Structure 1
Amino acid sequence: MRLSFLSDLNAERAARRAVVLVTDIASGEQRLVLEAKIGSDPLAEDLQDRLRQGKSGLIERGDRQYFLTIQTPPVRVIVIGAVHISQALAPMAQGLDFDITIIDPRTAFATPARFPDVPVLTEWPDAVLPTLGIDRYTALAVLTHDPKIDDPALAIALRSDCFYIGALGSRKTHERRVQRLTALGFTDTDMKRIQAPIGLDIGAVSPAEIAVSILAEIVAALRKERRRPA
């Protein structure tokens, strides 16, 4: 690999952007395809498919073989609310190799004792979220049930490129939430980005079961083009 490629790979990793190193097996020739350029690449469909899987691998096109080395940023899950669901969700997310952060200004709940080995930020979401750099590899789960905490987080998420936004609460709760966010200038299209009630409908009852449903919905959003047709 060229040293310039290695430098570019490191730069894209630091910027949390995906990149693909394409190697022609026969000739050994290589090219680096940046995320913004994938759509115009001759192997665009294959590159996008591999990016969705997040896996490197060999492909064949015509009589040629190419090895696609995939580099994608770690998926980041930001949870608003140091609640019982979050306690169950955190280790499950780590088991999926997701980077998880808990945000809750309520210091009685957001403690290292309740969330061992997980970053816990005892800040208001509108103060700390802008510093985290929410991007298209970020999922946001809003779980406090307190509009003073949840609404600012949702507003920031809706202005970002994050791939998933979910909010806890009943349909009636969400209707009131939509009214408040609409008053802030958000549109019906914006509202459709929020998964509410949060999580896949699996009949979840306990905090752990709800955590499973949330993570399943996040994975479904992340890999949506790879899901089986209904």
Structure 2
Amino acid sequence: MDLSLLSDLNAEREARRAAIVVTELGTGAQRLVREAEIGGDPLAGELAERIRTGRSGTIERETGPVFLNVHVPPVKLVVIGAVHVSQSLAPMAREIGLDVTIVDPRTAFATPERFPDVPVIAEWPQDALPTLGGLDRYTALACLTHDPRIDDQALLPALRAECFYVGALGSRRTHAKRVERLAGAGLSREAIARIHAPIGLDIGAVTPAEIAVSILAEIVAELRRERRRAP
């Protein structure tokens, strides 16, 4: 790979932006297509599909075979709240390949002993989230503290960053109050409607572990939306 192309690719990776290296197998010629440039590319349809699925592969063209090497940022899960549900959710999420971080300013809960294999940041979300490289559409956010002073400070930037999944713990009555607060903070009703609340698929979950299963299932369902069976 040409060094300038590799440098450009690394820059996209560092910025957590998707990109595809297009290689003409007959000639070895390569070019980098950034996600923002796909719409104007001759292979726009195929490139968009590859970005959506995250799968590399070879396609046939009249001029010969072309290999599409897809580079998509790893999916990360930011959990707001070092609670019992989080203790079950974190290891399960790691098991399916998510990059998990716990954020909670309450130092009595946010300890390495309670989350031995997961990064824990004992700071307020507005201070902690920028240190994670920001939020983006490859990020899932789960707010589990049930404390608006903490959760709201994570929901605001997550919705503005268009995270692919945003969920929040709480009853419908609690969420109705949350909607009013977020609207008062300047978010549109359309943006607020993206919050999954009450969080998790409705599977009748009762225990913290069961609630964690329902949350993780909902995250996967959103991540793989295009692959889900039609009802």
Q: Where does the alignment leave 5 or more consecutive residues of structure 2 unmatched? A: none
For normalisation by structure 2, the TM-score amounts to 0.93
Summarize the alignment of residues 7-46 of structure 1 with structure 2, pairs less than 5 Å apart. 7-46=7-46
**Contact 1:52–1:226, Cα closer than 8 Å, also in 2:** no
- Structure 2 distance, partners of 1:61, 1:209, is 49
Residue in 2 aligned with 1:160? 161
Contact preservation (8 Å) 1:104, 1:122: yes
Distance 1:151 1:9, change over 3 A: same
More displaced, 88-97 or 130-139?
130-139
Q: How many residues align?
A: 230
Aligned equivalents of 1:61 and 1:214: distance in 2?
Answer: 42
Q: Distance between the aligned counterparts of 1:10 and 1:52, measured in 2?
A: 20
Gaps of 5+ in 1: none
- Paired AA for residue 155 in structure 2: L
Q: Which residue of 2 aligns with 1:194?
A: 195
Deviation at 1:61, TM superposition (A): 4.2
Partner of 2:84: 84
Shift of 1:63: 6.9
What is the aligned partner in structure 2 of residue 67 from structure 1?
67
- Aligned-residue offset at 1:60: 2.9
Q: Could you tell which deviates more after superposition, 155-164 or 114-123?
A: 155-164
TM-score, reference length from structure 1: 0.93
1:124 aligns with 2:118: no
Change (3 A) 1:182 1:20: same
Distance (Å, rounded) in 1 between the aligned partners of 2:167 and 2:156: 12
Measure the CA separation in 2 of the matches of 1:30 and 1:228.
Answer: 36
RMSD, aligned α-carbons = 1.6
Aligned position for 2:4:
4
Q: Deviations over 1:148-190 (max 9, x none)?
A: 1111111221222322111011111111111221222222112
What is the identity, as a one-letter code, of the residue corresponding to 1:117? D
**In structure 2, distance between residues paired with 1:104 and 1:157:** 16
Deviation per CA, 1:86-144: give whole Å up to 9, x if none.
Answer: 11111111112211110011111111011012110111112222333111211110001
Q: Map 1:137-176; keep pairs closer than 5 Å.
A: 137-176=138-177
1:149/1:136 CA distance change after superposition, 3 Å: same
Q: Does residue 179 in structure 1 map to residue 180 in structure 2?
A: yes
What residue number does 1:217 align with? 218
